Structure 1
């Protein structure tokens, strides 16, 4: 079985991971820094080489990018919740410092749906599960 895990290139992986964990719930599973690389130079030993977290029950990887900033603006992370209250809480928490592209509201197909670009430049879609009675 194949597994897909989003991998975010960040300016500050720790801050970004903490924001998502505080906003959506989750935890840091592991962190490897550049000082963990055998023979690494000491120019940025505390920069994150690889961080594994869970956010809203979903695995996510992050790293501090040494390249030009590569925000995830060509990709959307979609979170689907069972309950409206959960979707509203997630959307409102991610909306801090964000650009709201579409407010979280009832869509014509019957579920809640909203889009935003968070303060780190990552695009999110928040929605609720379509119930059998809505189909």
Structure 2
């Protein structure tokens, strides 16, 4: 069994993918736009703003992004413009404090720091933030076993 995260950016998926490429070195493994759907499938409308019942053809219907060893699925969803990621955090485990700081600073750009990176009783660096898209992240440095 495999459990994966699926994030709906509600119209900002291309922007989010670009951000995670830059911030975390993410790699696009698969990307399908609504225009890639067969003709008999619901296809979007010409509304570039995503305000119609179906997203515009240029929006991301489904994508898989690899971040480190993990694949995260993403899409534009219904393009409501209101992405909400309540009650869920993505956790990044760094090997070093320098790596944790690099990722934390990159993800915090345009976002909101909830807990600055700090030393705790269980690790040398721990922090939490919401990135510019509202995705919550927890960063921690792995401790040697």
Paired position in structure 2 for 1:63: 75
Contact kept, 8 Å, 2:91 with 2:138, in 1: the verdict is: yes
**Runs of 4+ off more than 3 Å:** none
Q: Map of 1:1-135 to 2, 5 A cutoff?
A: 2-10=1-9, 11-39=11-39, 40-43=43-46, 44-66=56-78, 68=80, 69-132=82-145
Unpaired runs of 5+ residues, structure 2, are: 47-55
Alpha-carbon RMSD: 1.5
Unpaired runs of 5+ residues, structure 1, are: none
Displacement of 1:104 = 0.6
Change (3 A) 1:35 1:105: same
Query: 3-state DSSP class of the match of 1:104?
Result: strand
Displacement of 1:52 = 0.9
Q: 2:123 & 2:36 partners in 1: Cα distance? A: 49
Q: 2:17 & 2:69 partners in 1: Cα distance? A: 14
Count matched residues: 131
After TM superposition, the score normalised by the length of structure 1 is 0.89
Q: 1:92 & 1:41 partners in 2: Cα distance? A: 37
Greater strand fraction, Structure 1 or Structure 2 = 1
Displacement of 1:84 = 1.1
Paired position in structure 1 for 2:49: none
